[in-house]
Amino acid sequence: MKDFCGRHALIIGGTGGIGKALAYELAQKGAAITVQGGSSQAHLDTTLKLLRAAGVQAQGFLCRLRSDSSVEQMLGRTAHPDILVCAWGPFKRGALETMSACDWHDLVWANLSLPGTLISAVLPEMLKRRWGRILLFGGTNTDTIRGFTTSAAYSAAKTALSVLAKSVVKQSAKAGIRCNVICPGLTDTEYTDADAVQYNHSQGVPPLSPEDIARVALTVLENPHINGTVIPVDHGLVL
């Protein structure tokens, strides 16, 4: 079943890791895809080749997002998305007392303000069309309010995504728009800290693969009855 034929998906951070795996799943379902990547032309080229081989329209560009103006610029380069996926979400390890103002700004901007800004930008057209799917990526164990010893800034921003998703639902569930958050457990992507992967192995917990997460993400995107949820995909493990 090609559920997403005629739909256009914009995947922020879609040229590697979880975003790329989900782009591929969406392509298998017939969606036209636009992927945004950070700085690797090789990642972009490989991703577009993979998506086009799946027989869908695929385009992409590089844009290092770092400010509101870069978001505006990026949105100006792409058609309105029916499906918005915010996959890029940089992580920085560090105890709370070591986080600088700059760390706080960068982590909160990329992991909360950026998804919020994108949602505010795409929602009016989705409301007009009375159809839209939005998928956000939280952090490991950010599906509920918890304390974190080495990732407070990142995890605080990621935990707040649930407010964002549930606010989208309040405003637009009746207009056919769905918004959910997936919180992956440690996932072995090309961007994951090698020490963290090693640590998981040493604890007898193999990391997830990007494809593991992407398959759950596709199920969520496909099912209109799932809305405003925050779904951990982490083997039930709390760090």
Ligand X SMILES: NC(=O)c1ccc[n+]([C@@H]2O[C@H](COP(=O)([O-])OP(=O)(O)OC[C@H]3O[C@@H](n4cnc5c(N)ncnc54)[C@H](OP(=O)(O)O)[C@@H]3O)[C@@H](O)[C@H]2O)c1
Provide, rounded to whole angstroms, the least separation between the CB of residue 170 and ligand X. Answer: 23
Nearer to ligand X, 82 or 212 (CB): 212
- For residue 128, the minimal CB distance to ligand X (Å) is 27
The C-alpha R_g of the chain, in whole angstroms, comes to 17
Q: Measured from the CB of residue 139, what is the shortest distance to ligand X in angstroms?
A: 5
Q: Which amino acid is at 196?
A: A
Distance CA 186, CA 192 (A): 8
| Three-class DSSP category at 127 | helix
Q: What is the dihedral of CA 150, 153, 155, 157, to 10 degrees?
A: 180
Q: Which is nearer to ligand X, 115 or 132 (CB)?
A: 115
- Nearest distance from residue 166's CB to ligand X, in Å? 18
> Is residue 142 within 8 Å of residue 158, measured between CB atoms?
yes
Beta strand residue intervals within 127-171, DSSP E? 132-137
CB of 88 to ligand X, least distance (A): 4
Pick between residue 82 and residue 234 the one whose CB is nearest to ligand X.
Answer: 234
By CB under 6 A, name the binding residues for ligand X.
Answer: 13-19, 37-40, 43, 64-65, 87-89, 91, 137, 139-140, 184, 186-187, 189, 191-192
Cα distances from 80 to residues 15, 53, 90, 198, in angstroms, run: 19, 23, 25, 40
Name the residue nearer to ligand X (CB basis): 40 or 59. Answer: 40
- Token pair of 195 as six digits: 């020490």
Start-to-end CA distance of the chain, whole Å, equals 38
Q: Which is nearer to ligand X, 37 or 116 (CB)?
A: 37
